[in-house]
Homo-oligomer: A and B are copies of this chain.
């Protein structure tokens, strides 16, 4: 879970973004960011919608989607598309520049940070004439010990 301090910093960052882009500062937008700060994992738009409405923050899906998009635009959130249908989000500060290993047997997702990816990113961008912005690496793998993997959430 992000600290209150972290969330306050992000709110300032978000406020700056909104002002710069001439979007309005609304209570709903800050509420979304507050609630995201309470979630220490990936979440889908709908999970956030249900979570917020469960907490008696009355908010619509339209606002959730729109705010998630703004938060992604300004770099506060990372948006991932894993194999499933819905996009997943998480605070970028949770684990900066981390990537995901996905077990092809059970769908479990393990987060990791491996510095080597930075040099791959730079080498490729230099070769092709681009400036890196971000990346998404997903490693699909199976565990050495299949028993560990018996959280069968899919199949």
A101 to chain B: which residues have CB within 8 Å?
124-125, 128, 130
Contact indicator per residue, chain A 51-90, by CB within 8 Å of chain B (1) or not (0): 0000000000000000000000000000001010000000
Query: Which among A81, A83, A119, A134 has the greatest number of chain B C-beta atoms within 10 A?
Result: A81
CA distance in complex: A138, B139 (Å): 12
Knowing A135-B137, A135-B138, the reply to whether A130 touches B144 (Cβ < 8 A) is yes
A130 to chain B: which residues have CB within 8 Å?
101, 103, 110, 139, 141-144
Least distance between A13 CB and chain B CB atoms (Å): 19
Q: Which of B134, B139, B145 contacts A121 (CB 8 A)?
A: B139
Least distance between A155 CB and chain B CB atoms (Å): 12
Q: Is the CB of B125 within 8 A of A141?
A: yes
Q: Which of B103, B116, B134 contacts A140 (CB 8 A)?
A: B134
CA distance in complex: A119, B145 (Å): 22
Whether A12 is near chain B, meaning CB under 8 Å from some CB there, is no
Q: Is the CB of B128 within 8 A of A133?
A: no
A-side residues, CB < 8 A to B, are 81, 83, 99, 101, 103-104, 110, 112, 114, 116-117, 119-121, 123-125, 127-145, 148
Q: Can you spell out 17 A-B residue pairs with CB atoms less than 8 angstroms apart? A: A81-B81, A99-B124, A101-B128, A110-B130, A112-B124, A114-B123, A117-B120, A124-B139, A129-B144, A129-B145, A130-B143, A131-B143, A135-B137, A135-B139, A136-B136, A136-B138, A136-B140
